[in-house]
Amino acid sequence: MATASLRDETVDLLSRLIRVDTTNPPGNETAAAELLRDYLEQNGVSCELHARVPERANLVARLPGRGGGPTLLFLSHTDVVLADPAQWTVPPFSGEVRDGEVWGRGALDMKGQVAASAVAIASLAREGFEPSGDLIFAATADEEVGDGFGLSWLCEAHPESVRCDYAINEGGGDRMLVGDQVVYLATAAEKRTAPFTIRVRGRAGHASMPGIADNALVKAAVLIERLAAYRPEPQLGPEVEGFLRAVFGEAPVASHAVERVRPLSGPAADIVSAVLAPTFSPTMISASLKRNVIPHVCDVVVDCRLLPGQHPEHIEPMLRAVLGGDVEYELLWEEPQGGTRSRLDTPLWAAVESFVEEVEPGAKAAPMCTAGFTDSHWLRDAFGTVAYGFFPMSGEMPLDVVNSLVHSADERVPVADLEVGVRWLRHAAHAVLA
C-alpha cells in the first residue's frame, strides 16, 4: 500500500471528523462514532457502538485475531475542547487543508490520531492482514471532561469490548533535539494527581480592630511559604532513567539530572524536572467573603502530583514535617487519580524502538513519565494493559509550536505527521500481532 494514498485517505477522514462538532460539553460524540463506523464498515471492519446516553456513543472496531496472540488496542477520543471562532484565522470546524496542514479544533488533540488509527486498521483489513490476536480500535467519548461517558464507563459496563494486552494512546511521540541527539518520547507512566486542602482556623472579628480576632488567612500564609520553599528529594523512575540513557548513554544520579539536561534542551529539562519528585502547587484560596470581616477559616487548595506508585499516606508525614507544628491546620485529601505505570521490556516497546530506527536512523526512542494524565490509566487499572502514549511527529512543525496550539486557537496538524502516524500504527500491528 503506497503511503501517499494512505496519507490522503487520513487527511480526508480527519477533515470530515473535524467538521463534526464534538465540543465537550456537551460532546455529541455519536455523530463522530457513526461517521467512523460508516468508513470502517465500508472497509470490512466490524464495529460496535456503546453509549451510556444515546448522544454520547463510543465506537469499538475489531479485526479478529487467529487466536493465541496478544491483543492490541488503538485508543483515542473523539471529543474536543471549546473553540472561540473570533480567535481563529479559519473557522475552527472547517477541517480546511492549507499549506500542508489540516486546520481545526481537534487536529492535534486528537482527531488526527483518531483518523490515523481508523485508516491503519481499515488498510490492514483491506490487505487481508490476519493478526495473531485481536486488533481493536476504540474512539471514545468524554476524555476532556471525564464525566463517566467514555473509557472509564466502557471498562466497567463493557469490559470485553476494550480488554487488551497492549494499547497505543495519545500523550507522546514528541520529537525533541536534546544536544545533538534526536529523541522521540513515548510515555509509559503518569504521575498521580492527589489534590488536598489545608484548612486553617482562627477567630472572626471586625477588620478595623484586628487585635480582637485571630486571622486565619495570615496564619495560612506561613504554611503557603513553607510549601513553596520545599524541594523534595529527587528520584529516578525507570522512565526518566531510560530517557537519560537514551541521551547520555548512562544515567546521571537523580540530583544532577536536571542540570545535565538543561544545557542541551530547556524544554527537556523542564519535563524531567516535573517528574523527578512529587510537586505541590497551591492554586486556590478562600477566606473571608467581606473586606471588613477577618476570616475565621482559610482554605488553601494544593494541586499535588505524586510519583507513580506513591500514595498520600507515604507523603503525609513528610508534608507535615514541612508545614511545621506551630500553626494548627487540617489536611483534607481528595480521592487520588492515575499514577499507573507500564513495563518497558515488552514487544510494544520493541516496536516503538524499531519504528524510530526505521523512520529516522540514529534517533532514539526514550521513555518518559507524564506529569499530567491520560485515559491510559483506566486500561492499566482494569486489565493490567501495557499502554504507551506514542503518536510520533514528523518534526516538520517545531515542538514548541505544536504544544502552543493544543487546546488553543488555530490548532492544526502537518499532513506529514499524519503520514508518519499511520505508518507507526501499521508497524506496531505487524510487529506485535505477527
For binding to Zn ion (CB under 5 A), which residues are involved?
109-110, 170
- Measured over the CA atoms of residue 398, residue 402, residue 403 and residue 409, the dihedral's sign is positive
CB of 291 to Zn ion, least distance (A): 42
Q: Which of 303, 277, 318, 302 is nearest to 224 (CA)?
A: 302
Closer to Zn ion by CB, 109 or 190: give it. 109
* C-alpha distances out from residue 62 to 42, 192, 389, Å: 14, 31, 20
Cβ 301 to Zn ion, closest distance in Å?
25
CB nearer to Zn ion: give 284 or 406: 406
Q: Identify which of residues 17 and 220 has a Cβ nearer to Zn ion in the complex.
A: 17
- Pick the closer one to Zn ion by CB: 170 or 190: 170
Cα distances from 272 to residues 11, 258, 269, in angstroms, run 34, 7, 5
Pairing relation of β-strands 181-190 and 175-178? Answer: antiparallel
Residue nearest to Zn ion (CB): 109
Query: Across the chain, which distance is largest between two alpha carbons, in Å?
Result: 82
In sequence order, what are the beta bridge partners of 314? Answer: none
Closer to Zn ion by CB, 73 or 363: give it. Answer: 73
* Cβ 33 to Zn ion shortest distance, Å: 16
In the complex, least distance from residue 222 CB atom to Zn ion, rounded to whole angstroms: 39
**CB of 139: closest distance to Zn ion in angstroms?**
12
Residue 59 vs 110, nearer CB to Zn ion: 110
396-408 CB burial, b ≥16 within 10 A, e <16 = ebebeebeebeee
Q: How far apart are CB 143 and Zn ion at their closest, in Å?
A: 5
* Rounded distance between C-alpha atoms, residue 131 and residue 429, angstroms: 8
Residue 342: CB atoms within 10 A of its CB come to 24
Task: Name the β-bridge partners of 183.
Answer: 176, 364
To Zn ion, the closest distance from the beta carbon of 77 in angstroms equals 6
Three cell numbers written together for 241: 532513567
Cβ closest to Zn ion, residue 11 vs residue 110: 110
The rounded distance, in Å, linking the Cα atoms of 117 and 418 is 10
Instruction: Give me the least distance between CB of 10 and Zn ion, in Å please.
Output: 18
10/140 with CB nearer Zn ion = 140
Give, in order, the Cα–Cα distances in Å from 59 to each of 23, 40, 56, 306.
17, 11, 10, 33
